Amino acid sequence: MSRKARVVVVGGGLAGLSVTMKLAELGINVDLVSLVPVKRSHSCCAQGGINSVNNLTRQLGDSEWKHFEDTVYGGDFLQHQPPVKEMAEWAPRIIDLMDRLGVTFNRTPEGFRDQRRFGGTLYPRTAFAGATTGQQLLYALDEQVRRWEFAGRVKKYEFYDYLGPVLDENGVCRGCIAQDLVSMEITALPADALVIASGGCGLIFGKSTMSMSCTGSAASRTYQAGVRYANGEFIQLHPTAIPGADKLRLMSESARGEGGRVWVPRRPQDPRPPEEIPESERYYFLEERYPKYGNLVPRDIATREIFNICTKEGLSVEKDRLCVYLDVTHLPTSVLERKLGGILEIYQKFQGVDPRRVPMKIFPAVHYSMGGLWCDYERTAEGGLRIGSPRNHQTNIPGLYAIGEVDYQYHGANRLGANSLVACIFAGLISGPGIVQLIESQRRLAAEHPGGIFERVVEQKRKEFEQLLARPSDGENPYLLHKELGEVMTKAATVVRQNPELDQAYEKVCELEERARRCALADRGRWTNQNVVFTRAVQDMYPLAKVILRGARLRDECRGAHYKPEFAMPEITASDAAERRRQAIEWCEKFEANNRRWLKTTIAEFGPDGHPIISYEDVDTSLLPPRPRLYGVVGGEIIEQVWQERQFARV
């Protein structure tokens, strides 16, 4: 490999670091661009763990195929299946690798890695390091990248803002433009491939469980430059977050994985302290409604149930603030300390209440973007991915890649807990060799590209920066505009979605976008100007907000995290056996008709007028035929039976 080949990676979380270390190992020089020192990336917030089939679950009947199946079923069949299958197959090897890299996974008394059970599966597949697994995985990769930095193969650009890709006259990506957030200097970083690994876009919803760097600005700038955005409307809410003034802090699914129970007092707003409410007067609504999965139903379902019990059923613990109890007080001290210490500490630190003694109060919050930049893959005949294919994770712009939460490939309509960490690391490891192949096939490296293209774009970005600084000082306040956007998005596009509300929200967002063009800066300096960074990020939230709203508006169905009551599937209401069967047949027909219409990837392209142009793409479901997702559906047994008969009749 030519020593001059360079790759720029934008984002230093799990995905960005894993592709960086893999590329460095393969002999490629990497420039790593990040808003924050990479060790402080948002991946550190992931708490619960990382999934894979393991020696223990294998003996319970588990396999890579079942991990794949749970992921696809949990995601309501919206993901292309080959990448998911490949990921599930790599997962055990990824955890082995992370183990070798020094991740402090919890151990059994015999010294093996310990595992726990997470949502949407019946097997204890989740390896974990206390309750800060994301932090521990992030640190292990950060250390490896530092090792390569020490060896001179990686150069970090920390405190840099990515302003957009640079495309040549043929529409091929040749690098990107970035701004030093200390000196505010704007520079071009030529690259033979550009990898966007910038994470989620939770800040579009104002407050979420995401970190302050998760503005979606890198994704938005890449989308505005011509990369398609897929399944934008699929936003995961985490069922259990701690409400706060500045942030909604995550309370990990592991609290339920280790036996935590969700409940509300049967008497609305029972004034007694929770520990004085007897068992019989507590409503463990998830356990009662979903006997098979109990508190570990998939996240979209837990979220909806908690939301409904507080709103529709009026059983919120508090009157003014919606919340339910998440109770771990019955668990043995050893479990609390050894396995949940980290997250319980967070609750105590931020709420001033000891969750070991008093049940926690929690409510759903925006948590993860299943959708993201569209990217490709190359399928093998067996239904996996061709290792080393330059198509793996390449977007529709040649030379431009998307990996991690910012891609859309693995989680479909709903992500299973503890699958994001494995997906991020996998995306980095699988895309690395493909990028090397791409570079080897190129005749000319970016550094040798005839000048002009970089200078032009740098000049343009400098001009935009100057214009931003020169705005009149009496304009709109970017912080308030962001707050307003968050309120609109949270109201219209989270747990429950209604078409009229989505239409109104779209109009409102367009209006806010217009107002944001008149944002005034309180700081016009040219040194560490955080005002500029924030204002620019807010401006870039609107195009993505429109993608989310438009996608949600058009998708007239319920799938995973996208829930429109108007288009919900009917329940089986009859008690007479024949009538039940008839209803179930009707149900199955409706289900199939709906899939023909909506089992499709939403594709948004940035239109010339700033509005997204929406189209749909078929989903590769060739490995596992779509079937009804029947967690807790009323009449699920008869639907299941009729469904099986129909499948059998078809063969």
Partner 1 sequence: MIRSTSNNNERRLPEELGLQDGKFEVRVLRQDGPGQPSYWQRFLVPYESDMNCISVLQNIAAIARTAEGVPTTPVAWECNCLEEVCGACTMLINGRVRQACTALVDRLLRDRPGVIELRPMTKFPVIRDLVVDRSRIFETLKRVKAWVPVDSYLDLGPGPRQSQENQEMAYVLSKCMSCGCCLEACPQYLRIELTRREGESAEEFERRKQEVYHRAFIGAMGIAQIDLFNTNPIGRMNSTERLEALIAEGGIQVCGNAQNCVRVCPKEIPLTTSIARMGRAATLYMLRKWFDR
Of the pair 211, 601, the CB lying nearest partner 1 is at: 211
Measured between alpha carbons, how far is 591 from 140 in angstroms, rounded to an integer? 45
| Strands 235-242 vs 612-618: parallel, antiparallel or unpaired | unpaired
Does 299 participate in catalysis according to the annotation? yes
Q: Least distance from C-beta 452 to partner 1, angstroms? A: 24
Taking the least distance from each CB to partner 1, the nearer of 214 and 400 is 214
Paired sense of beta strands 29-34 and 50-51, if any = unpaired
Q: Is 130 in the site for partner 1 (CB under 8 A)?
A: yes
Query: Which of 299, 304, 497, 580 is flagged as catalytic?
Result: 299
* CB atoms closer than 10 angstroms to residue 645: 14
Judged by beta carbon, residue 114 or residue 233, the one nearer partner 1 is 114
Site for partner 1 in 263-292 (CB under 8 A): 271-274
Q: Site for partner 1 (CB under 8 A): which residue of 73, 105, 377, 598?
A: 105
Q: Which helix (H) or strand (E) holds 478?
A: helix 478-492
Residue 447 beta carbon to partner 1: minimum distance, rounded to whole angstroms: 17
- Residues between 161 and 200 that touch partner 1 (CB under 8 A): 182
Supply the DSSP symbol for 189.
Answer: E
Taking the complex as a whole, the smallest distance from the CB of residue 249 to partner 1 amounts, in Å, to 6
Question: Smallest distance from the beta carbon of 110 to partner 1, in angstroms?
Answer: 8
Residues 227-246 that bind partner 1 (CB under 8 A): 244-246
Among 10, 31, 32, 39, binds partner 1 (CB under 8 A): 39
Residues 347-406 that bind partner 1 (CB under 8 A): 349-353, 358, 361
How far is residue 396's CA from residue 375's CA, in Å, rounded to a whole number? Answer: 7
Tokens 């909506």 correspond to: 598
CB of residue 426 vs partner 1: minimum separation in angstroms? 12
Please give the size of the binding site for partner 1, defined by CB under 8 A: 80
> How far is 591 from 584, CA to CA, in rounded Å?
10
Instruction: Find residue 463's DSSP bridge partners.
Output: none
Q: Quote the least distance from Cβ 129 to partner 1, whole Å.
A: 6
Given 346, 366, 427, 639, the residue binding partner 1 (CB under 8 A) = 346
Span near partner 1 by CB under 8 A; candidates 128-136, 305-313, 381-389, 574-582 = 128-136
Judged by CB under 8 A, does residue 528 bind partner 1? yes
Strand order in the sheet with 173-180: 160-167, 173-180, 186-190
Which residues lie across from 368 on neighbouring strands?
Answer: 236
Q: How far is the C-alpha of 429 from the C-alpha of 23, rounded, in Å?
A: 9
Chosen residue from 3, 59, 109, 578 binding partner 1 by CB under 8 A: 109
The CA–CA distances, whole Å, from 194 to 336, 440, 580 equal 43, 15, 55
Give me the least distance between CB of 331 and partner 1, in Å please. Answer: 18
Q: How far is the CB of 307 from partner 1 (least distance, A)?
A: 19
Instruction: Tell me how far apart the alpha carbons of residues 98 and 109 are, in angstroms, rounded to a whole number.
Output: 20
Query: Judged by CB under 8 A, does residue 1 bind partner 1?
Result: no
Is 206 in contact with 485 (CB distance < 8 Å)? yes
In angstroms, the CA 365 to CA 249 distance is: 9
* Angle between helices 478-492 and 530-554 in degrees, nearest 10: 20
Contact between 143 and partner 1 by CB under 8 A: the answer reads yes
- CA separation for the pair 209, 114 (Å, rounded): 27
**Using CB under 8 A, which of 101, 496, 569, 633 touches partner 1?**
101
499 binds partner 1, rule: CB under 8 A: no
97 binds partner 1 (CB under 8 A): yes
Out of 33, 45, 72, 385, the residue judged to bind partner 1 by CB under 8 A: 45
- Characterise 5 by phi-psi region: left (phi > 0), alpha (psi -120 to 50), beta (else): beta
Q: Among 531, 539, 583, 601, which residue sits at the site for partner 1 (rule: CB under 8 A)? A: 531
Taking the least distance from each CB to partner 1, the nearer of 96 and 507 is: 96
- Is 80 near partner 1 (CB under 8 A)? no
CA angle 189, 192, 193 (to 5 degrees): 90
Contact between 104 and partner 1 by CB under 8 A: the answer reads yes
Residue 595: in which H helix or E strand, if any? helix 577-598
Q: Is 6 in the site for partner 1 (CB under 8 A)?
A: no
Selection from 628, 624, 647 nearest residue 637 by Cα: 628
Q: Least CB distance from residue 206 to partner 1, whole Å?
A: 12
One of 9, 29, 32, 41 touching partner 1 (CB under 8 A): 41
What are the residues facing 407 on neighbouring strands? Answer: 373
Cβ-contact 124, 254 below 8 angstroms: no
Q: Is 252 in the site for partner 1 (CB under 8 A)?
A: no
Catalytic residues: 299
